[in-house]
Amino acid sequence: MKKQSTTKGFAILSAAGMIVKVLSLLYIPFLARIIGEEGWGIYSSAYKIYAFVYVLTNSGIPIAVSKSVSEFMALKRYEDAVKSFKIARMLMLIIGTLMAVLMFVLARPLAAATSSTSSTLSIMALAPTIFLTSIVSTYRGYFQGRGNMTPTAVSQVIEQILNTIFTLVFAAMLLKYGVEAACAGGTIGTAIGSLGAVIYLIIVYEKKKKIIVPKGYREIDHNKHTNKQILKKIIHYGLPIVICVGLQNAGDLVDLAIVKSRLIHAVGYSQSLTDTKFGVFTKYRALLGVPIALVSALSASVLPSLAGAFALKDKKSLQNKINYTFRLCLLVAVPSAVGLSVLSHPIFKMIFPAFEEGWKLMFLGSVVLVLTALVQIQMTILQSINKLYLSTFFMILGVMGKIVTNYLLVGIPQLNITGAVFGNMVCFAIPLGLNYIFINKSLKIKLNMFTHGLKPLMASVLMGVMAYGTYLGLTTVLNKFVTGYLNNAISCIISIGIGVFTYMYGLVLTGGITEQDLGVLPARIKRFLPKMIINKIRK
């Protein structure tokens, strides 16, 4: 199995991530039309609980597998690399089964604790998916540790295609039994998607599980690790990740529990209106998820590389990789945040016409995208150098800040659900600052976030002005020919295209993009870039 470079791995995972996120956005309006605005709130609440159980189950050990396998491969301990995967796979089968049973049995108490009693049936329907995803995530961790991102990318696309199709089919089939049954039916697609990914990954593993070792390797007496030593290593890597990522996602449960409770008891909303308002909030979060998918792809692709450099004690390489990772992160996050902010109203009107009021949340909350992206990269760095416990404490402080902010601001009738946006800002701003200080002091490296972000910010401001100006001009001109939804959709899509071109050209003018960065983009995407931009970069 051929190892891929970090940039190629990022390109593969980012392409898959974009496909997955676009598919997930496309089916939302259709599903919302089937189950209604209240139904979407019920469905979203169940997914918040599922997402929390998912990260508790799948965030630690699969990443530990990726890290362990990449370290063992770097040190040429190939048998230990395979052994660590097999031990982790057995461990995840046990954990996945246990968590799936607990989620099913505790569905009603979980729903009641988060003011989401109408989501009980959907939570129960999602429980089997936890078992399937535990298998999927282990195989993905192994392939990523081997430096091959293709199986992960393909499995993600298969999973989302099946999810999209069967979610709509089962939601429509069960609607005759009521909204709650339709929401539960929609979750069946998630399980079928995960099953498809499991089957694909097992087939690929059986075909590519052999490791080609260097000549003379078998004649050397290698000091092999015992099963107990490897299990201890996996738990040592995985446990702090579970705690840290679990706390990060606990922020979403805080949104669910405190936000809904405050809307009902402090603002005076009914359960139905509360479900609707929370559904609007999840739409805003779903849009943020598109660029975050690129950052997640970057995190997954750089983790083996960072862990390998750390295992070899190559400080210079580690510093270069960390700086490059932050720069790539900001190249994606900053323009995405600016674009979603300035075009928040047109985008919401185009994708979620029934939830148009959500644009206000997007306009204010796009900065959360940058904060989330940076914290995610920081966590990846800390995972790779075995320094995650203090970061976990920083995340606890962030969640505590979010709890206080949500409680105070959501209870103000004039703010209501908007208060949760400010809670998200506080949740990520606190660990961002503290992680930054810790990484600089711990690794003693030169890391300047302002320097990395300045050029993308300058290009993004230019992009924002051009995109919004284009939108205003087009809507006025097109209004003579088409009106309403079609006018907005055409103007929005063209404005986004103009914005992307302006951003790329702005980066060229400011020197914010290099020829090395072009290697991150898939060849098919590079074909669409104007030659004038590519030629300027290569000069």
Average pLDDT over residues 59-72: 80
What confidence score (pLDDT) does residue 256 get?
72
> Does 4 fall in a domain?
no
Q: Determine contact, residues 230/80, Cβ cutoff 8 Å.
A: yes
> Does 140 fall in a domain?
yes
Per-residue pLDDT reduced to its tens digit, 337-374: 999 999 999 998 888 776 667 888 889 889 999 999 89
Find all residues with CB under 8 Å of 35, minimum gap 6, and list them: 42, 43, 171, 175, 179, 182, 183, 186
CA distance 411 to 415: 8
User: CA–CA distance from 262 to each of 161, 408, 413, 503, 508 (Å)?
Assistant: 37, 9, 10, 41, 48
Average pLDDT over residues 504-530: 67
Per-residue pLDDT reduced to its tens digit, 222-272: 567 777 888 888 888 778 778 777 776 776 777 677 888 888 888 888 877
| Angle, alpha carbons 413-416-421 (nearest 5°) | 145
Share of the chain above pLDDT 90, in %: 24
What confidence score (pLDDT) does residue 205 get?
87
> Does 213 fall in a domain?
no
Which residue is listed with tokens 């660990």?
431
Over the chain, what is the mean pLDDT?
82
What confidence score (pLDDT) does residue 147 get?
74
> Does 146 fall in a domain?
yes
> Does 220 fall in a domain?
no
396 and 497 co-located in one domain = no
CA distance 441 to 436: 9
109 and 17 co-located in one domain = yes
374 and 514 co-located in one domain = no
Q: Which pair of structure tokens corresponds to residue 124?
A: 């129960």
269 and 360 co-located in one domain = yes
Which stretch of 51-60, 164-173, 195-204 has the lowest confidence by average pLDDT? 51-60
Return the amino acid letter for 299. Answer: S
130 and 203 co-located in one domain = yes
What confidence score (pLDDT) does residue 405 get?
92
Q: Which pair of structure tokens corresponds to residue 437?
A: 């200080």
* Domain span including residue 355: 10-208+226-447
What confidence score (pLDDT) does residue 499 get?
93
Looking at 385, 412, 447, which one is the last position of a domain?
447
> Does 522 fall in a domain?
yes
464 and 443 co-located in one domain = no
> Does 108 fall in a domain?
yes
308 and 455 co-located in one domain = no
Q: Which pair of structure tokens corresponds to residue 231?
A: 């299990």
Which stretch of 114-118, 180-184, 479-483 has the lowest confidence by average pLDDT? 114-118
DSSP letters for 461-524? HHHHHHHHHHHHHHHHHHTTT--HHHHHHHHHHHHHHHHHHHHHHHHHHHT---HHHHTTS-HH
What confidence score (pLDDT) does residue 539 get?
60
Which stretch of 34-43, 381-390, 411-420, 510-519 has the lowest confidence by average pLDDT? 510-519
Nearest to 492 by CA among 353, 351, 362, 346: 346
Looking at 447, 465, 484, which one is the last position of a domain?
447
> Does 5 fall in a domain?
no
Which stretch of 296-305, 306-315, 449-458 has the lowest confidence by average pLDDT? 296-305
Looking at 389, 419, 447, which one is the last position of a domain?
447
Per-residue pLDDT reduced to its tens digit, 528-537: 566 666 666 6
Count of domains in the chain?
Answer: 2
375 and 495 co-located in one domain = no
Per-residue pLDDT reduced to its tens digit, 16-27: 666 777 777 777
Question: Given pLDDT bands bounded at 50, 70 and 90, which one contains residue 521?
Answer: low
Going along 98-217, which residue ranges are E strands? none
361 and 493 co-located in one domain = no
For the cut 50, the answer to whether the pLDDT of residue 219 exceeds it is: no
464 and 442 co-located in one domain = no
Average pLDDT over residues 278-283: 80
For the cut 90, the answer to whether the pLDDT of residue 297 exceeds it is: no
Per-residue pLDDT reduced to its tens digit, 197-215: 999 999 998 887 766 555 5
269 and 326 co-located in one domain = yes
Of residues 538 and 341, more confidently modeled: 341
What confidence score (pLDDT) does residue 96 get?
92
Which residue is listed with tokens 């779903």?
286
199 and 263 co-located in one domain = yes
What confidence score (pLDDT) does residue 357 get?
73
